[in-house]
A and B are shown apart, each in its own frame.
Chain A
Amino acid sequence: MDALTAHLSELGHGLVTTVELTVVTTVGAMLLGIIVATLRIAPVPLLRAIGTAYVEVFQNLPLLALLVLFVFALPTIGITFPLFTSAAIVIAVYEGAYLAEAIRAGINTVGVGQAEAARAIGLTFGQSLRHVILPQGLRAVIQPIGNICIALLMNTSLAAAVGVVELTQAANTVNLIEAQPLAVFTGAGLAYMLLALIIGQVTGLLERRLAIVR
């Protein structure tokens, strides 16, 4: 336990970075997910193909490989982002593919009659999405979205491999000094668990408030 209490500030900084990375990435992935899901149900075949390609590419590549490519390959063609920004972009793009599929599942729960009714009262595709289909579709898949957000939180730990000092990296550094991996990583693991429980609670609350009972 001393190994943990002696390094609370380092671990605290790491925890804050993990939370920041999770929040920024969740917002980005959510926006991307909605856009990609919309592409996948769009009336234009080319847009549908783009949406499908996005999901297939990013669901079938390991996140760590994407991170290493983004951080080390882009600078060779002259594009360099700060490390935190790089990690946030890559994780958002990656998780966006998973969120897109969850959102598309939600959209599929909305009855065809709803879309036809929206068209019948003169709404455009964009308007019927915004006012009729997405609000109902998203409310149907709050729980799966929450699960993906928990997976996203765990995936932020991979940012440690490309130099972002988040909770896992902070734990690594503390362990380097104290050489007590069991205590240090149990502590870090409990912190991750706590964050995941918070996301789970928020999801549950939203589910009870917003879910549509059919």
Chain B
Amino acid sequence: MSILKMSFTGRRSLALTATAVAVALAATGCGGDSDSGAPALPGNPGLGGDGVVAQSVYDAAPVATDADIPAGSAMDAIRKRGYLSVGGSLDAPLLSQQNPVSGTIEGFDADMAKLLAKYITGKTEVKTTTIGTQTREAMLQAKSVDVVFQTYTITPQRATQIAFAGPYLTSGLAVGVRKDDTSIKSVKDLAGKTVIVGANTPAVTALPSAAPGSKQIAFGTDPQALQALLQKRGDAYVQDFTLLASGAKANPGMKVVGEPFTTEAYGIGLNREDAQFKEFVNKWLTKIQADGTWAKVWEATLGSVVEGGAPTPPALGSADGS
């Protein structure tokens, strides 16, 4: 339990502390987990039966009125088409992961996309295109997808290429190490160490300033990076806290140390030309945050590895670039 120092201040830190406690519990294998013993599969954490958002949440979710959708707008085109075209992932536990049995995509991002589809078309019908992180801007500019839900960090540089609605979720980078490692207690201990990062993740650019003197190696996917950590190709794995938390739950060989050392604001990627669409999506976000839908989705997905209830959703437009 001593691996985590609780030293947060402010409102957001409540959620972070809750996350930290849950991760400590998951990592040490103790605590009130009913399913402790056999490691649970990420994405099937057992909350609310099979860990997916209940149908009642979809059913109760808001639908835009005709007045919200002017003829000829992007929303109008989507409503006529009957489904929302989404750029996302299939391999991110708790965020956007395809269930190999049912074929449905589950997780926070996936459910947000379904709810936006419902808001526009009245049905939760989405068509998900898996896209690499390196082609998200190009896909949006070419209008190959309507929106991108992919833990897409809002940055001012990216905002010159595309538009971000939101932020709809905040998190931060944290440090994962092997379970038996006691030499690394926070990001400050990473100097001179070899650090594994996900290629094309914010860790690549954040690490040199957060841990000067560390050496990076990058792997294409989160499972690969986790495997590389367990196989001692590096001393630590720096990745988003939510991903590390689900990784620690699924892999008894790793643990998360220290508190998140950055604040990432995730936005919904949109084509930059269409200001009307951005305004529309932001209005939808305000609605689902206010009526509690957002919190229900969070609890069923990310909340299943975090104790203490849903955090306060981030304020719209609070990130530089949104």
Verify that A and B bind, or say they do not.
Answer: yes
Contact with B along A173-186 (1 / 0, CB 8 A): 10111111110010
Asked whether any CB of chain A lies closer than 8 Å to the CB of B79, the reply is no
Per CB-CB distance, the 3 closest pairs between chain A and chain B, nearest first, are A75-B231, A179-B158, A161-B220
Closest residue of chain B to A179, judged by CB?
A: B158
- Measured CB to CB, the closest approach of chain A to B264, in angstroms, equals 13
- Measured CB to CB, the closest approach of chain B to A154, in angstroms, equals 17
Asked whether any CB of chain A lies closer than 8 Å to the CB of B228, the reply is yes
5 contacts between A and B (CB under 8 A): A72-B231, A75-B233, A162-B220, A176-B133, A176-B201
Q: Which of B58-66, B80-88, B134-142, B241-249 contacts A (4 or more CB under 8 A)?
A: B134-142
Closest residue of chain A to B216, judged by CB?
A: A165
Give me 20 other A-B pairs in contact (C-beta within 8 A), A161-B220, A179-B162, A181-B135 excluded.
Answer: A72-B228, A75-B233, A76-B231, A80-B231, A162-B224, A163-B199, A163-B219, A172-B199, A173-B218, A175-B134, A176-B134, A176-B205, A177-B205, A178-B157, A179-B137, A179-B158, A179-B160, A180-B161, A181-B137, A181-B138
Contact between chains at B217 and A163 (CB < 8 Å): yes
Q: Are A163 and B218 also in contact (CB < 8 A) when A181-B137, A181-B138 are?
A: yes
CA distance A180 to B155 in the complex (A): 13
Contact between chains at A176 and B219 (CB < 8 Å): no
Asked whether any CB of chain B lies closer than 8 Å to the CB of A169, the reply is yes
Interface range, A side: 20 to 34
Contact with B along A53-95 (1 / 0, CB 8 A): 0000000000000001000100110001001000000000000
Contact between chains at B218 and A165 (CB < 8 Å): yes
Contact between chains at A72 and B157 (CB < 8 Å): no
Asked whether any CB of chain A lies closer than 8 Å to the CB of B36, the reply is no
Contact between chains at B157 and A169 (CB < 8 Å): no
Other-chain contact of B233, A68, A80, A161, A173 (Cβ < 8 Å): A80
Closest residue of chain B to A182, judged by CB?
A: B138
A residues contacting B by CB (< 8 A) are 68, 72, 75-76, 80, 83, 160-163, 165, 169, 172-173, 175-182, 185
Interface range, B side: 20 to 34
CA distance A180 to B220 in the complex (A): 19
Asked whether any CB of chain A lies closer than 8 Å to the CB of B130, the reply is no
B residues contacting A by CB (< 8 A) are 133-135, 137-138, 155, 157-158, 160-162, 199-202, 204-205, 217-220, 224, 227-228, 231-233
Contact between chains at A181 and B134 (CB < 8 Å): yes
Contact between chains at A180 and B199 (CB < 8 Å): no
- Measured CB to CB, the closest approach of chain B to A81, in angstroms, equals 10
- Measured CB to CB, the closest approach of chain A to B63, in angstroms, equals 33
Chain B residues contacting A80 (CB-CB under 8 Å) are 231-233
Contact between chains at B219 and A169 (CB < 8 Å): no
CA distance A209 to B228 in the complex (A): 48
CA distance A173 to B157 in the complex (A): 14
CA distance A176 to B224 in the complex (A): 19
Contact between chains at A72 and B204 (CB < 8 Å): no
Closest residue of chain A to B218, judged by CB?
A: A163
- Measured CB to CB, the closest approach of chain B to A62, in angstroms, equals 15
Q: Are A83 and B161 also in contact (CB < 8 A) when A172-B199, A180-B137 are?
A: no
Chain B residues contacting A68 (CB-CB under 8 Å) are 224
CA distance A47 to B184 in the complex (A): 53
CA distance A72 to B220 in the complex (A): 13
